Amino acid sequence: MIFGQEQPKVLEEYGGSIFVSSFTLTVIALDRCLLIIRPNKEFIGYNRAVAIVVAIWVLGYSLALPTGIFSKAVSFEKICGVFCEEIWPDTSESGLSSPSRRLYGLSVLLSQFGIPALISSVCYWLISRVMSSQLERRRGHTLLKESEEKLVSRKTRANRMMIAMVLGFIFAWMPLNAINLYRDLGSSVNSPWFSTVFALCHVLAMTSAALNPVIYSWFNPQFRSAIQSLCSGQRKRVKGKLHTEINTKLTEAITDVKIKPELILNDCHQPGDQIL
């Protein structure tokens, strides 16, 4: 191990970014909810926003601190390698049971996954209710059919995006939290399937970093139209470039052909004809 016994403590602290990501998504959901419910009142100004961001990062890395404190480099001779493992003070001799680790695992499950998912779901549900009530009030007025269709389309698109946000968060993080809870409850991690399943769950959780931008862009009609215009423009440029290259090749081929006069005469006159 390059950095010795302190490397696991440093690496495990990077787990704070997981809490930061979850807390940030939760705050975004709360901010949207307050903005929709009370549009005339400013809840989060610049100073408050800075304080919230700092608090998110401090709280996130504080919650990840125990894993950094109790992580050590453990050598496994059978598989020829040194790995970072959590060794809690009250770990049993078998290495499978630790009340402190179990309690910490449950707190991580609630703070990183359960509570953020619940708050986001409630916020988006409230937003959907407010948008539905606004749509019903506008329907009470005389609206053009085109305007009404735009309102319905906007509401449908917003609802789908909010549902996709919540489902994407649950889809990305539930498997990893479930497998961590399975491990923290003292179940055997020496099973042949555990390492493979844990790796797959971890990869799935890391996709959440790319999942949210994809959801935002997919449900944004301006972004989709810009991407379509870009792709169609690329196709047109490629097609125009291909036509230019073909015309250039044909011109070069015609220019390079050397036409001899006697060949033309032979083609035009039969043997025995007199040439004037």
* Amino acid present at 161: M
* CA 9 distance to own-chain centroid: 27
Residue partners of 215: CB distance under 8 A and separation at least 6: 161, 164, 165, 168
Q: Are 212 and 168 in contact (CB under 8 A)?
A: yes
Q: According to DSSP H, which parts of 207-220 are helical?
A: 208-218
Distance CA 22, CA 103 (A): 20
Angle of CA points 138, 143, 144, to nearest 5°: 145
pLDDT of res. 70: 77
Helix (H, G, I), strand (E, B) or coil at 200: helix
Q: pLDDT (tens digit, 9 = 90+) per residue, 35-61?
A: 888 877 777 888 888 999 999 999 998
Average pLDDT over residues 18-22: 87
Q: Are 114 and 178 in contact (CB under 8 A)?
A: no
Residue 12 has pLDDT above 90, yes or no: no
- Closest among 71, 76, 87, 80 to 10, alpha carbons compared: 71
Q: pLDDT (tens digit, 9 = 90+) per residue, 102-140?
A: 888 889 899 989 999 999 999 988 888 887 777 777 665
Helix axes 16-37, 46-63, angle to 10 degrees: 150
Q: Are 212 and 165 in contact (CB under 8 A)?
A: yes
State phi, psi for 273 to the nearest 5 degrees: -75, 150
pLDDT of res. 261: 46
Residue partners of 71: CB distance under 8 A and separation at least 6: 8, 9, 11, 12, 84, 85, 86, 87
pTM: 0.68
pLDDT of res. 251: 59
Helix (H, G, I), strand (E, B) or coil at 75: strand
Q: Are 10 and 103 in contact (CB under 8 A)?
A: no
